[in-house]
Amino acid sequence: MRFLGTRPVAPAPAAPGDVLAAAEALRVRLGTREVLRGVDAQVRAGEVLALVGPNGAGKSTLLGALAGDVRPAGGTVRVHGRPAGDWPAAELALRRAVLPQSAELSFPFTVLDVVRMGRAPWASLLPEDDEPAVAEAMAATEVTAFAGRPFSALSGGERARVALARVLAQRAPLLLLDEPTAALDLKHQELVLRVCRDRARAGDAVVVVLHDLGLAAAYADRAAVLDGGLIAAEGPPAEIFSDRLLTDVYDQPVEVLPHPRTGAVLVTPRRDPERAPGGRTPTG
With CA atoms as reference, report the closest residue to 204 among 5, 6, 4, 13.
Answer: 13
Each of the 284 residues of the chain gets a pLDDT tens digit; together they read 444 557 888 899 999 999 999 999 999 999 999 999 999 999 999 999 999 999 999 999 999 999 999 999 999 999 999 999 999 999 999 999 999 987 777 778 999 999 999 999 998 888 899 999 999 999 999 999 999 999 999 999 999 999 999 999 999 999 999 999 999 999 999 999 999 999 999 999 999 999 999 999 999 999 999 999 999 999 999 999 999 999 999 999 999 999 999 999 999 999 987 755 555 555 54
First to last CA, the chain: 75
The predicted structure's pLDDT at residue 2: 45
In tens, the pLDDT along 56-87 reads 999 999 999 999 999 999 999 999 999 999 99
Torsion sign (Cα): 186, 187, 192, 194: positive
Q: In sequence order, what DSSP letters do the residues of 180-218 get, joined into one string? A: TTTT--HHHHHHHHHHHHHHHHTT-EEEEE-S-HHHHHH
In tens, the pLDDT along 81-114 reads 999 999 999 999 999 999 998 777 777 899 999 9
**Rounded distance between C-alpha atoms, residue 179 and residue 20, angstroms:** 21
Q: In sequence order, what DSSP letters do the residues of 145-172 get, joined into one string? A: GGTTSBGGGS-HHHHHHHHHHHHHHT--
**Rounded distance between C-alpha atoms, residue 74 and residue 267, angstroms:** 35
**Residue 32: which residues within 8 A CB-CB, separation 6 or more?**
none
Collapsing DSSP to helix, strand or coil, 112 comes out as helix
Beta strands at 48-52 and 205-209: parallel, antiparallel or unpaired: parallel
